[in-house]
Amino acid sequence: MADTDDQGSGQKLKAKHLTPGELEKGRKYFLIFLIFNFIAFPFLSGNIITLIGLKLSVGNTLIGILSSAAYISFLFLLIGKILIRKRGAVHLLSTYYTARNLLMVPVLFLPFLEQSGYHILSIIVLSVSVFAFNVCRGIQLTSDNPIVTELGGNKEQGGFFSRLLLVSYAIAGITGIFMAYILKGDPGLTRYIVIIAVGLGSGLIGSRFIRGIPEPKESATGIREKLLNSFTASIKEKNFRLYYTILLLGFFTTSMITPFLIVYFKELYAVSDSRILVFNIFGNAGALIMALISSYSVDKLGAKPLMFTFTTITMTILVPVIIAPSLSGSAWMFIFPAAVFFFHIMGTTGMYSAGRIYFFSIIHPKQRLNLGILYFMLIGTGGALGSLLGGTLLDILLQSSRLSRTGAFRTYFILLFGLLLVVIILIRKLKDTAPYSIPDAITFILSPKDFRALTLLRKLERSKTIGEEKNTIKALKNTPSVLSVDQLLEKLNSPSLSIRGNALLALKNIPLTDQVEKVLISELRNHPFTTAYLAAELLGEKKAVKSSAALTETLTSEDYFLAAKSMVALAQIGDIQGMNNISGILKTTRNPRLIIHAAKAFDIFGEPQYLPVLLRKLKQKIFPFIRDEIILAIAGILGFYDRFYTLYLAFLEKGYNGVSLLTDYLDNHGAALSPAVRREFREMCEGVMSNADVFRNQVTNLLAEYPVVIKGEDISSAFREAVSDPDVCKLERFRFLTASILVYGICRK
């Protein structure tokens, strides 16, 4: 019946999700497409458009308008919502991605128009092409969330998206170097057109791979949902309202910063176009590091702490921009802008990445299409308003007679600093999507040990063989971190003994939580003869008091490894009832492992009430090495294990050597004793290797006069009973133990 149920659920999954094969194929083609897109996009948008606009001598207001086109494009997702119903996400992406690239072809003719004296027409062609490009981009973006979230799978949405960004920024670094090389010196308009041409070619090649991406299945369930209904339902939730506010305000603010940092450095520091592109390479490096950190940490730590961190970075880097230091020397003229671009792009791309991943984590799969459209519309609205108002505001400040040019920029960026501070305050109020607070998450990222654990956890998720899985778990054992707990506990469901065993060993150095304790108890009960004994060992070491009932149950298990480890564990957690049960088992068992571990348990527990059962066990026919364990356990209970162990080693090597060391101890530590008393004890020590009857009489007399008291309890009767038993007293090892106890006791008085 269970098999039938499993098959039924499998068929349902197949209907709702991409199969592993479809997922692998889809990721392959999507990645190839993105590689070409990541080459094309920076060549056709962003800073290159700003620089072409500046080359055509357009004002700050028009620069702001051109920058706003990227955000205005998001409004056209509404058209995409209508079109996606008819043809699907992949067809929509293919059609409008190809169209957006073709619509940039007129830009190739800008040098011809400029040479022919059609300057106004050049500006119109640039503006129309840029806006047409972004209109198609907006329609095409409707397919983005359904495709990306579907290909991300259920377990690593954030990691998958961050890895895409990692590839994006790595390629952006290469394209940045290429653009800086092309535009070095004082480039003419033609060199910019070469870059546009390369972008067009790359985009058109990339469009050929889109058809290999499978149509999303899970997100398709939301295609028929009405946009207004989805928005109304989400807006009723406080967390969604807060998130939308952060999204709108965040993109409003960053869109007022990014394009005008270029204007800032050109106006105040006379930075050339080629230098701007070099600094943009540093910005891409910052984005690359952001994506690297995010790819390893976001699924484990949650997106909220990363949103907070990267927004803080974006805000903090405005401080030196506001100060606007006077720079002397070519080194500082390079270092200052490079650092600003590095941290600014790291922060803004981190805000975008973490914000979008947070969005993925709080929406239902069937909401991806509609709320994805709203997501892009909000950032589009915020970005467009920011770009438009940013250019206008900056022009007003620069034209003010009360402000110098430096003062105008300083005022502008102080305002933006304040807006980002508001965003940071709002982020703190968002619901957590992971169990870690913002300070804890930042600590984990900054800790080399915890960050290494994050890299190993990602490697564990992507393991394809049992060997890779096992080696990674072993590495996690040497990199203890609370971040590993969930995945290590998940590995306890593995059918492999080796994987479960290594996962349990990796948990040794991680603090006990209720979740860990619960899973270990389950392991204890459900995996005898395999890894249950390791769970028992862990529960004891971590003093898991709640496990005492389960450990007591396993004392009678046929798995002697498990029963033995449970004995020690019960002693470690101080369970008195469990110790009484162990006492009963020790009386009757002949299993060497159980005898040894029972002795060890009594040693750990340290209560003298269990000495009689240990002493009686010595009379049974057991291996000498088992007697050694019992004798050492008795010494441990009496509190002189370390001193006795050295003496006992010498005794086992050669009996008289051990006796000699014992008498030396008597002479050195019993100086306060009378000569007559020392003589009595010396004779008793010498009797260890001679007649058992003589030794019995000596010990009996000494115990009557000098009783052995441990923890306020007189235990003399237990030893008197033991020496009176011929089967016990004939054992030289026992006689040496008894002599040592009496000597140690008299010397302590």
pLDDT 10s digits, 519-576: 999 999 999 999 999 999 999 999 999 999 999 999 999 999 999 999 999 999 999 9
Residue 277 clears pLDDT 90, i.e. is over it: no
Of 370 and 426, the one with more pLDDT: 426
C-alpha dihedral (88, 93, 94, 97), degrees to nearest 10: 160
| Model pLDDT for residues 595-620, shown as the tens digit of each residue | 999 999 999 999 999 999 999 999 88
Residue 262 clears pLDDT 60, i.e. is over it: yes
Cα gap 138→547, rounded to integer Å:
58
Residue 403 clears pLDDT 90, i.e. is over it: no
Mean pLDDT of the chain: 85
- Which residues, at least 6 apart from 97, have a Cβ–Cβ distance to it below 8 Å? 37, 136, 140, 203, 206, 207, 210
Cα gap 52→190, rounded to integer Å:
10
Q: How far is CA 544 from the centre of its chain?
A: 26
Helices 655-669 and 732-748 pack at an angle, to 10 degrees, of: 10
Q: How far is CA 363 from the centre of its chain?
A: 22
CA end-to-end distance (rounded Å), the chain: 73
- The model's confidence at residue 170, banded by pLDDT at 50, 70 and 90, is confident
Cα gap 347→182, rounded to integer Å:
28
- The model's confidence at residue 628, banded by pLDDT at 50, 70 and 90, is very high
Among residues 210, 66, 222, 216, which one has the least CA distance to residue 130?
Answer: 66
Residue 43 near residue 196 (C-beta atoms within 8 A) = yes
Cα gap 491→506, rounded to integer Å:
11
Among residues 124, 187, 144, which one has the least CA distance to residue 41?
Answer: 144
Q: Which two tokens stand for residue 199?
A: 């972008």
| Model pLDDT for residues 81-92, shown as the tens digit of each residue | 888 877 788 889
Cα gap 120→113, rounded to integer Å:
9
- What amino acid is encoded at 427 in this protein? I
Q: What pLDDT score does 591 carry?
A: 93
User: Which domains, from first to last, does the chain contain?
Assistant: 18-442 (1.20.1250.20), 647-748 (no CATH)
Q: Which two tokens stand for residue 150?
A: 């579907």
Cα gap 572→561, rounded to integer Å:
17
Among residues 360, 371, 356, which one has the least CA distance to residue 225?
Answer: 371
What count of other Cβ atoms lies within 10 Å of the Cβ of residue 635? 22
pTM of the model: 0.68
Among residues 620, 727, 742, 741, which one has the least CA distance to residue 678?
Answer: 742
Cα gap 684→745, rounded to integer Å:
14
- What amino acid is encoded at 329 in this protein? G
Radius of gyration over every alpha carbon of the chain, rounded to an integer in angstroms: 38
Task: Give CB contacts under 8 A, 24+ apart, made by 268-275.
Answer: 268/324, 268/405, 268/406, 268/409, 269/327, 269/333, 269/337, 271/337, 272/186, 273/51, 273/54, 273/55, 273/183, 273/187, 274/180, 274/183, 274/184, 274/185, 274/187, 275/334, 275/337
Backbone angles phi, psi at 226, to 5 degrees: -80, 135
- Which residues, at least 6 apart from 173, have a Cβ–Cβ distance to it below 8 Å? 281, 284, 285, 288
Backbone angles phi, psi at 447, to 5 degrees: -85, 120
Q: Which two tokens stand for residue 35?
A: 């590689």
Q: State the DSSP code for 1.
A: -
Q: What pLDDT score does 5 carry?
A: 39
Among residues 309, 295, 298, which one has the least CA distance to residue 434?
Answer: 298
User: Residue range 662-673: average pLDDT?
Assistant: 85
| Model pLDDT for residues 130-149, shown as the tens digit of each residue | 899 989 998 888 888 788 87
Positive or negative, the Cα torsion across 27, 31, 33, 38?
A: positive
Q: Which two tokens stand for residue 336?
A: 């200052």
